[in-house]
Amino acid sequence: MQIPIPVPSQLKSAPFTLAEAIEAGLTHRDLWGRVSIEPVSKGIYRPSSWDFDLEGAAKSLSAASPGAWISHITAARLHGFPLPPWLSDSNELHLSKPRRLPAVRRKGVTGHTLVVAEGEIESNRGLWISTRPRTWLDLARTLPLNELICVGDHLIRVPRAEFEQRDTAYATIDGLRAMVDRHKNLQGVVRAREALELMRVGADSAPESMLRLAMLDAGLPEPELQIPLRIGDRLSPSADLGYRERRLAIQYDGGHHLEEEQIHSDRRRDKAFRAAGWTVLVFGKDDLADGFSDATGRIKGALRKAWTDPAIQAGFARPKG
């Protein structure tokens, strides 16, 4: 019986290419003879004990595929896009090539042949990958419209510099529109144009985007996003969305809002709005699960009340903020 020879330490944590194996001191005979290494695809190997890791697999695939880049669902997951549940845990490997190169033919890899413009591919974390804006466009052929809008809202939102290691958005509406115009014949481009018309800056999460879209589908007026209670005060509490003129604040509290510190912060936020004469509606994951059907009904009721309740009408006469 053949005794397994230990895999070199630098190759233990992820798949590796033939070139990396030779650099680590292995021979072709080692790769096909030792039982602790398995071939994955042409020129790519992995330790037998390796647990699948998307980034590690993508790096090896990129390194073994000159001229190609990681794209579509794989790129979306690596970029941290807010994907729908049926894609959020996907381990699909997508690889794209320009049309001048032979099509991708690798076991376990979905290949694409695409036209790309300058600046739509980047070197990131040791692999070639489509940029976030280009990945959004490539997803237009796969994602339903509302999910595509959620990803778009994620790209154009203005980050909070104090909490994130960036101070500019990943993309702008104008930049995305210019990219769409460059690729008039790409599959999904019509859906991408539809999404651009419904994307808005200000949604901090996909559920907030879904709530806004459900409100529009229910015939409600388009809400404002990230409404500060006190205009011009950077320390003011804010509502995720709502209607300032009717003093209606709408909050979506996701999973992190269950943490004790966040619960207290949310209570102070809502108390401040109510003390200023606003109605506050708070929704969560149960509302998301039913497509916000009950939520939109409650919002309609609150808006009707704003027109008939004397106390709320009196509030409109007070200075805004």
CATH code for the domain of 248 = 3.40.960.10
Q: Residue type for 54, please?
A: L
Please give the Cα distance from 58 to 42 (Å, whole number): 14
Token pair in block for residue 184: 């008039």
Domain end marker among 166, 198, 230 = 198
Asked if 60 and 184 sit in the same domain, the reply is yes
Q: Identify the CA nearest to 42 among candidates 107, 128, 110.
A: 107
Asked if 191 and 221 sit in the same domain, the reply is no
Asked if 66 and 25 sit in the same domain, the reply is no
Give 172-176's long-range contacts (Cβ < 8 A, gap of 24+): 173/199, 173/201, 175/133, 176/133, 176/136, 176/137, 176/152
Asked if 122 and 180 sit in the same domain, the reply is yes
Domain annotation covers residue 191: yes
Asked if 34 and 127 sit in the same domain, the reply is no
Asked if 77 and 132 sit in the same domain, the reply is yes
Domain annotation covers residue 93: yes
Q: Give, rounded to a whole angstrom, the gap between the first and last alpha carbons of the chain.
A: 79
pLDDT of res. 16: 75
**Domain range for 109:** 55-198
Domain annotation covers residue 3: no
Asked if 99 and 176 sit in the same domain, the reply is yes
Please give the Cα distance from 74 to 164 (Å, whole number): 23
Domain annotation covers residue 252: yes
Q: What phi, psi does 180 have (nearest 5°)?
A: -60, -40
Asked if 61 and 190 sit in the same domain, the reply is yes
- Indicate the number of domains in the chain: 3
pLDDT of res. 18: 78
Asked if 162 and 224 sit in the same domain, the reply is no
The DSSP element (H or E) to which 171 belongs, if any, is none
Domain annotation covers residue 33: yes
pTM higher than the cut 0.85: no
Domain end marker among 169, 198, 227 = 198
Asked if 72 and 177 sit in the same domain, the reply is yes
| Span 112-121, pLDDT tens digits | 999 999 999 9
Contact between 238 and 228 (Cβ < 8 Å): yes
Which segments of the chain have a pLDDT < 70? Answer: 1-6, 12-14, 29, 32-35, 38-41, 49-51, 255-260, 309-321
pLDDT over 70 percentage in the chain: 86
22-53 burial code (b ≥16 CB/10 A, e <16)? eeeebeeebbeebeebeebbebbbbbeebeee
Asked if 47 and 175 sit in the same domain, the reply is no
Domain annotation covers residue 1: no
Domain annotation covers residue 2: no
Asked if 66 and 193 sit in the same domain, the reply is yes
Domain end marker among 36, 51, 66 = 51
